[in-house]
Amino acid sequence: SEQARLRAGVVEADTEEWQKEATFAGLARVGGLDLSYIKGDDARACASLVVLSYPALEVLYEDCRMVTVTAPYVAGFLAFREVPFLVEAVQRLQQEEPRLKPQVLLVDGNGLLHPRGFGVACHLGVLTDLPCIGVAKNLLQVDGLARDELHREQIRSLQREGDMFPLTGTSGRARGMVSCGDSNNSSKPLYISVGHRVCLETAVRLVKSCCRYRIPEPIRQ
């Protein structure tokens, strides 16, 4: 019920002036967030937030803290386990370095590409009220989407950096976009989905503009 209540707050459209510009004029700071577990330990993790300048992609701020995760893992509710630590990192930044507050967040995970259309990027976006984009490395199989031969064939068709195709489920709705972030890694695409206060087209353009390598720089850092 809490997930459904928060889901009602998701805005699947551009809300910022900088999003209207082809060059994202006015965008100066992009945040990246991730929660990484120690190998073999599903309770100890590192919650990381970095803020990069845009378009230079130079690190302006870093916050990495070891945390103890106590909430159990339940499929489809991962955000309740991880997002509180990421929200705390954003709040610390706003208190300590408010001038470095990011204008958009890229998070290692999914947004609308989720069984109930409310992945970690949506959850984080709604709680921080910041534009947020989900960038995942693997396909979450929802709405009839599957890692089947058709999907593998579509991935093989991604030959050049910037090639992409939509993730359209059996509902007929585009849940996200598969993008080749690096021509050297076309077999390992990115799965981009809307989190909050951004449309899919803008999300894909921004992620692509932040890629020096396969993983967009805010998340890679």
Of residues 31, 6, 9, the one with CA closest to residue 89: 31
User: In Å, how far are 52, 128, 177, 197, 200 from 15, measured between CA atoms?
Assistant: 21, 15, 20, 6, 13
Q: At what angle do helices 78-96 and 120-128 cross, to 10 degrees?
A: 40
pLDDT score, position 43: 92
Name all domains of the chain by residue range, CATH numbers in brackets. 2-219 (3.30.2170.10)
**Could you give the percent of the chain with pLDDT greater than 70?**
95
Instruction: Give the DSSP H or E segment for 88.
Output: helix 78-96
pLDDT score, position 138: 86
3-state helix, strand, coil in the chain (%, to 5): 30, 25, 45
176/125: higher pLDDT: 125
Q: What is the DSSP letter of 17?
A: G
pLDDT score, position 148: 79
In whole angstroms, give the CA distance from residue 104 to residue 61. Answer: 14
Q: Per the omega criterion (within 30 degrees of 0), is the bond before 98 cis?
A: no
pLDDT score, position 154: 76
Answer yes or no: is pLDDT of 211 > 80: yes
Confidence of residue 66 (pLDDT cuts 50, 70, 90): very high
State the distance between the two ends of the chain, measured CA to CA, in whole angstroms: 35
In whole angstroms, give the CA distance from residue 206 to residue 103. Answer: 12
Confidence of residue 181 (pLDDT cuts 50, 70, 90): low
Give the predicted TM-score (pTM) of the model: 0.91
122/149: higher pLDDT: 122
Please state which of the ranges 76-85, 138-147, 171-180 shows the lowest mean pLDDT.
138-147
Q: State pLDDT tens for residues 183-210.
A: 555 568 899 999 999 999 999 999 999 9
Answer yes or no: is pLDDT of 124 > 80: yes
pLDDT score, position 150: 78
